[in-house]
Chains A and B, each alone.
Chain A
Amino acid sequence: MLRIVEESVKAVTPHLLGTGAVDWLPDADPQDSLDFLRDWSRSGIDEFTLVTTVAFLALNAYSLLKTGRLFPSLGFEDREHLMKGLFRLKGALGFLLGYFLGSPAINAYYSRVDVQVALGFDIPALKEEAERRQVTRGGEPLGPRESDDERPGGGEGA
């Protein structure tokens, strides 16, 4: 992966995720975004990696055009200003550019267990419950839960 792409993936992370906009959401780690892109590139198809690379090169070309500097070398405010301009792009092109620029950071951040727990998807509790309530094909039907408290969000079903 090109070094400029790696640096841009990290630099763009807080601007794409809106870090700090919601105080109870955990902070983002830009390194997670880069790690995610590397994993994704290994298991995915070449074209996705290629398009993602092109998107980040386009971001830097836009940055050079607007500021005379590459995106990672800009200060936070300048990067934020530049990104806001990109977010205003309308139509399919704007969506796709945002999609490919945003994929590493957004996937990495919203994959995190702590982020999902903060949003109400309590993975550790559900996993614990699933381990207690395992199903076997030949087994008897599961009995009633020990109590409503056993189930995270218990009683919420209609």
Chain B
Amino acid sequence: MIHQPESVTGDLRLTSEVVVIGSGAGGATIARELSQAGRKVIVLEAGRHFTRDEFDFRMDTAFLNMYWYGGQLLTLGFPAFILPQGKTVGGTTTINSGTCFRMPHRVLKRWHLDHGLWDITAEEMELYYAAVEEYLFVQKGDPEVMGRNALMFLDGARKLGLSGGILARNAKDCEGYGVCCFGCPSDAKQSANVSYIPDAVEAGCELYTGCTVDEIVVSNGRATGVKGRLEKGGKAGPSVEVEAGVVVLAAGSLHTPRMLQVQGLCRSSGQVGRNLTIHPCAGTVAVMPEELGNPKGIPQATYVDEFADEGIMLEGGTTPPLGIVMGLPFKGRRLAEFMSQYPHFGIFGGMLSEHCSTGRVIPHHRDSSRHLIFYNLRGEDTRKFKFMIELMAEIWFSLGAKTVITPTTGDVELRPADLGRLKRRKARASDYPASSAYHPLGTCRMGSDPASSVVRHTGETWEVENLFICDGSIVPTSLGVNPQMTIFALSMRCAGFIDDRLEAIAGRTPPAAPA
């Protein structure tokens, strides 16, 4: 059952075999796998539960209701990036674009060589990926509904000799409403809120929304439960205490390390909160001669991966007007006139998918329920970021764009003749003040050495027995692609180890030897 805070009238004292903090790709997978295995599972989610009837196509209400801090989460550094993260049942899967990639083999090889994760084999991961893909109806988008924008860009890229294709997505019967990031209004997108969570609940899982966890209870080196509180009408409501055999921390790559840091848990490696990787993104808006039908279509429908090995992936798209206007440098009459051309906008984005820059997450000095994120784009990555923008502009101009808007200070509005100037200018991080980033990973990385990692390959922390972490924070490197499939797959893998641990706790099998 899903309990909204209003339905809870007094303090809660609960017991379960497993308590899961967070209901995103990691937590929801654990909840479903273990509930269907007959385990008693309680999930505590900081956000609230929304259904398709409440998804109103509006970016502003989605940001206020379903994003952490109203979508105002910002990294500190040069440049600063807006880092939108979901705060709702289903986590960021509820408000992402639904893009699905398996982890490239080169990345798994790096996990083996650099992090000693030989226990995670390619063959095993293929099985998990296949299971997740089947469960989530992962398939390439339908060209009939993806919109002209994405297909046109792909066509332009191919004419320039660049490789690319149609993105696979976790969507069934998608009609291309263009608002995946504000909650899918038809439930076509198979985010965790319409897949893993309902199945977990049907199998007996209890999910409490609006619940902030303040403490992981640890006794004699073992996690034994959590303490938290429900939020009612913006104020702290009833307290919540859950006693459990296993605690699963799945609060995402930003809140998971913060919670450990605030309590001083798992800190001997010095790696909690470090090694943050994100995917810095840049968007381009081209004014095309013809109308493109915005925003009807799939927000991320096609990709250009010609430079994926160098860490550049282009993925797009379409976006509603509000998603465009805030990134524009225009004001006044110029803004109104430019936005009036919205039906002609060609919209496409790119991300630095692999790069050397890393960041750090620490608790906020005044408010321990929040975090500060430090991240700087370093030299070579800045050059790649600039090249990514040039590449998108070049593709748009090859398609006949009259103007291309880039996030580059001083070269915001480009005509075809300006492309050479953009290419000649030196790349500086401070030139990109209007960028966003996605896919935070790595802040509680797994590895084979407790001196340099926070969790084992099983997801269990090295330092606190029965405390597992199952979210993007354990992913030890940038993936080079959108991460949700890998988080689903790794969490499915972790669920097996948690089930084994619960057997051991119940005394039915000997405890597994530490990996």
Taking the closest CB of chain B, its distance from the CB of A142, in whole angstroms, is 4
Within 8 Å CB of A130, what residues of B?
52, 175, 177, 185-186
Mask, A1-38, CB within 8 Å of B = 1, is 00000000000000111110110110000000000100
Whether the Cβ atoms of B335 and A153 lie closer than 8 Å is no
Report B's interface with A, CB cutoff 8 A.
52, 56-60, 64, 69-74, 143-148, 151-152, 172-173, 175-178, 185-188, 190, 194-195, 198, 234, 291, 293-297, 320-322, 325-326, 329, 331-337, 339-340, 342-343, 370, 409-410, 430-431, 433-434
A72 in contact (CB, < 8 A): no
A64 in contact (CB, < 8 A): no
Taking the closest CB of chain A, its distance from the CB of B137, in whole angstroms, is 8
Whether the Cβ atoms of B188 and A127 lie closer than 8 Å is no
Whether the Cβ atoms of A126 and B322 lie closer than 8 Å is no
Whether the Cβ atoms of A119 and B336 lie closer than 8 Å is no
Q: Report the bound CA distance from A17 to B338 in whole Å.
A: 11
Whether the Cβ atoms of B70 and A40 lie closer than 8 Å is yes
Most B-side CB within 10 Å, residue of A120, A127, A141: A120
Given contacts A107-B322, A119-B339, A135-B188, contact A95 B332 (CB under 8 A): no
A66 in contact (CB, < 8 A): no
Within 8 Å CB of B234, what residues of A?
42
Within 8 Å CB of B431, what residues of A?
92
| In the complex, chain A residues 45-75 whose Cβ is within 8 Å of any chain B Cβ | 45, 47-48
The 10 closest A-B pairs by CB, nearest first: A18-B336, A43-B70, A111-B60, A156-B293, A18-B333, A130-B185, A21-B333, A21-B336, A44-B70, A44-B72
Beyond contacts A40-B70, A45-B72: 4 other A-B pairs, Cβ-Cβ < 8 A, are A121-B295, A126-B185, A141-B173, A156-B293
Most A-side CB within 10 Å, residue of B147, B152, B339, B340: B339
Within 8 Å CB of B409, what residues of A?
90-92, 95
Mask, A106-144, CB within 8 Å of B = 1, is 110011010110011101001101110111110001100
Identity of the chain A residue whose Cβ is nearest the Cβ of B337 in the assembled complex:
A21
Q: Report the bound CA distance from A17 to B321 in whole Å.
A: 14
Whether the Cβ atoms of A102 and B147 lie closer than 8 Å is no
Cβ-neighbour of A137 out of B60, B175, B195 (below 8 A): B195
Taking the closest CB of chain A, its distance from the CB of B151, in whole angstroms, is 4
Within 8 Å CB of B343, what residues of A?
119-120
Cβ-neighbour of B58 out of A48, A111, A157 (below 8 A): A111
A99 in contact (CB, < 8 A): yes
Whether the Cβ atoms of B332 and A92 lie closer than 8 Å is no
Most A-side CB within 10 Å, residue of B58, B59, B147: B58
Number of interface residues of A (CB under 8 A): 60
Residue contacts A-B, CB under 8 angstroms, 20 given:
A25-B336, A39-B64, A39-B70, A44-B71, A95-B329, A95-B433, A96-B433, A106-B326, A115-B321, A116-B320, A116-B322, A120-B291, A121-B321, A123-B56, A123-B57, A127-B56, A133-B173, A134-B187, A135-B172, A156-B296
Q: Report the bound CA distance from A99 to B320 in whole Å.
A: 19
Taking the closest CB of chain A, its distance from the CB of B83, in whole angstroms, is 12
Cβ-neighbour of B296 out of A43, A99, A142, A152 (below 8 A): A152
Within 8 Å CB of B331, what residues of A?
15-16, 18, 83, 87, 98, 102
Q: Report the bound CA distance from A14 to B336 in whole Å.
A: 11
Cβ-neighbour of B325 out of A21, A25, A36, A106 (below 8 A): A106
Most B-side CB within 10 Å, residue of A40, A90, A158: A158
Whether the Cβ atoms of A134 and B186 lie closer than 8 Å is yes
Whether the Cβ atoms of A157 and B334 lie closer than 8 Å is no
Within 8 Å CB of A141, what residues of B?
172-173
Within 8 Å CB of B175, what residues of A?
129-130, 133, 142, 151
Within 8 Å CB of A136, what residues of B?
187
Whether the Cβ atoms of B176 and A44 lie closer than 8 Å is no
Identity of the chain A residue whose Cβ is nearest the Cβ of B189 in the assembled complex:
A135
